[in-house]
Chain A
């Protein structure tokens, strides 16, 4: 770690040698592998979750290709179980949960509150290595026989199957602690490391969203940890608490699992809300409509999400009374969520919207999330759920949220902060084309799944009745289009690193602190300790000259 010498931030743009940034202030393998700089850790996360996303996406394409024919094209039924499990587990645990907090959050949160780093940099590095360990264990589990339980590890099947459930359970446990430590770090950073003048209500909404996410990560994830631990114990020495043969109760497993995994949905989606809040404001050049409402709705979502987990268990043998309560409480989640959606739309309304590529991704999010959110309310309704449970309707619903909303928000954020991170600009034309392809491909993949689901196509089946063939084929074609869009995105982003033109100092005209530091930022984030005197999103303070000046 001694190789990681911090830069003394003195250089000005006009000096001879290239300005010292966090990217060039030190070099060599150890300067990255042992770095304590939140920005470099963010980049390492970005590479990691990016690879996990591509792997998960590959599994998704295999699933879709297999379903081209009613009898299945590629795999035996048992192998199919493994492929969709791999898709789910990789996407959920290695990509969606860590993606935004780990990469973009790590990169921008300290910048946004005006701190030199996160509060606990060593813990931050540990988080990343735990993520890496989890990824290695998950890959190892594939080698050790794979796993075919679905990403939910439902007992009792997960107790009986002869696959590598203990290994993947260990991976989930380790990944859980990676997520906990990231959340813990962000909470401490927000509480203790805000720059002078950065009051709670001057914090950008991205920070509020990450803060709310962190509360969930810290409080919900340990229960997942103990759950997978208990599953491992069950498999190793048959304690019997989830095993009906031994007097245990699988429903208890589901309670434990969903106590985490419902809030986990908000661990995934709240950071996406944060990104959209930032982007909608910056690219409309307008303060956010209802700043405090959005801030508090994040917290409200975080709290309410602990009260509704039973809506995943309507067909699991819960008591009817518990189902009433869980269904009723589920509707309350819709309120803060709708507040956000309306606030974003009201912000865009009559703003001077610049249709930059990040904004295009954000607008795609607004449309897709409206569908994903509303179908969630439908599914939360007890009597409707009994019919739609475990059908493609559910699959389509959560893909509208997880893929369509969260991944698109992640892409939006990536495009927004890419020039900040690397000082390089990608091709805007290609970015807009890719966004369009992804939007079309995505909807083509999942709209047929809504229809199939409402007609009774069950999820996780390797084969299906011939009536569904056209829908499945449309969905597969959509997935391929979606894949092409993602491939194009990866291409132009990587290309920008090699031969992209220089980004502007303040590419989009943001006024939060992350745009008040040189691009790319110096090792210690700010040349001078920032003092915040303006309200957040006060565009009268925008320095237009910085939007014209090339990054150094």
Chain B
């Protein structure tokens, strides 16, 4: 927004490779702008916590109702892949933290490198996730091609799910074996969506970084995207033991 407001406050660029930052017209200082953005984003993260919290509540609820289903279900997931993915996300959280730090200290190329590494981490995570889903598909625990087929209802009130076939009968001995995989799929899919959105946001701020918009005087967008990425990591920290190592 261009405006003729003579009050506009400008934060100077720390070097020739950076551009100065103009504070939005309704703020009087850059600190006020920074703190407002940050508080707003923390509030947004609080909503994310409660949104995921609903899923976690459902997890604990059914873990209590069907402990055996969850125990056997958890054994069908490969904890090695889970642990690997956890490490990938933790590493990417570290590169993100370093990226924010580099932006705070006006180190443009370092910022770009760390942000790039973070996107790489996101990509590796999603690739591993893909192979995990593929294995579940092959065992008939989540048949992706049948996901949207209607529930097949029998006249006696029972019925069968098209997406849960359990080819090897690994869940045969426990009640409602699909329940674990339904929760596994829902939680990891929504988490995966956040990973993709997070990666998109990081790529977006990489463009801004390349143009020199972010430096010691103005790094709020990098900081906020960083917080978002750490939240994605935070959720996975809980998902990993709950799904792969069902306690």
Residues of A within 8 A of B (CB): 1-2, 4-6, 8, 36, 115-117, 119-121, 123, 180, 184-185, 187-188, 191-193, 218-223, 225-227, 229-230, 233, 236-241, 245-249, 252, 255-256, 524
Instruction: For the complex, count residues of B whose C-beta is within 8 A of A.
Output: 51
Q: Are A241 and B39 in contact (CB under 8 A)?
A: no
| B201-229 at interface with A (beta carbon < 8 Å) | none
Indicate if B62 sits at the interface (CB-CB under 8 A).
yes
B contact residues around A245 at 8 Å (CB): 151, 153, 157-159
Q: Tell me, in angstroms, the Cα distance from A248 to B3 when the chains sit together.
A: 57
Q: Tell me, in angstroms, the Cα distance from A342 to B163 when the chains sit together.
A: 59
- Digit string of B174-186 for contact with A (CB within 8 Å is 1, else 0)? 0110110011011
The interface stretch among B53-61, B70-78, B81-89, B101-109 is B53-61
Q: Are B1 and A4 in contact (CB under 8 A)?
A: yes
Check A238/B151 contact, CB under 8 A, given A6-B4, A192-B39, A226-B51: yes
* Nearest CB on A from B23, distance (A): 12
Q: Tell me, in angstroms, the Cα distance from A238 to B185 when the chains sit together.
A: 12
Indicate if B17 sits at the interface (CB-CB under 8 A).
no
**Given A239-B182, A245-B153, A245-B157; 7 other pairs, CB 8 A cutoff:** A123-B40, A221-B47, A238-B163, A240-B178, A241-B179, A246-B151, A256-B54
Q: Are B182 and A249 in contact (CB under 8 A)?
A: no
> Of B26, B44, B176, which contacts A246 at CB under 8 A?
B176
Selected A-B contacts with CB under 8 Å, 15 pairs: A119-B40, A191-B39, A192-B39, A218-B43, A230-B186, A233-B186, A236-B148, A238-B151, A238-B182, A240-B176, A241-B183, A245-B153, A247-B179, A248-B179, A524-B26
User: Total A-B pairs in contact (CB under 8 Å)?
Assistant: 130
* Nearest CB on B from A318, distance (A): 13
* Nearest CB on B from A22, distance (A): 13
* Nearest CB on B from A96, distance (A): 21
Q: Are A237 and B26 in contact (CB under 8 A)?
A: no
Q: Are B36 and A193 in contact (CB under 8 A)?
A: yes
Q: Are A119 and B36 in contact (CB under 8 A)?
A: yes
Q: Are B3 and A187 in contact (CB under 8 A)?
A: no
A contact residues around B58 at 8 Å (CB): 230, 241, 252
* Nearest CB on A from B224, distance (A): 12
Check A223/B50 contact, CB under 8 A, given A191-B39, A249-B61: yes
* Nearest CB on B from A212, distance (A): 14
B contact residues around A239 at 8 Å (CB): 182-183, 185-186
B contact residues around A237 at 8 Å (CB): 147-148, 163
Check A227/B179 contact, CB under 8 A, given A6-B4, A8-B4, A116-B26: no
- Digit string of B149-163 for contact with A (CB within 8 Å is 1, else 0)? 001010001110101
| B15-72 at interface with A (beta carbon < 8 Å) | 24-27, 32, 35-37, 39-40, 43-44, 46-55, 57-58, 61-62, 65-66
Q: Are A6 and B51 in contact (CB under 8 A)?
A: no
Q: Tell me, in angstroms, the Cα distance from A63 to B1 when the chains sit together.
A: 48
Q: Tell me, in angstroms, the Cα distance from A171 to B137 when the chains sit together.
A: 32
B contact residues around A241 at 8 Å (CB): 58, 62, 179, 182-183
* Nearest CB on B from A264, distance (A): 14
Q: Are A240 and B25 in contact (CB under 8 A)?
A: no
> Of A187, A220, A229, which contacts B43 at CB under 8 A?
A187
Q: Tell me, in angstroms, the Cα distance from A38 to B222 when the chains sit together.
A: 27
Q: Are B26 and A5 in contact (CB under 8 A)?
A: no
A contact residues around B44 at 8 Å (CB): 180, 184
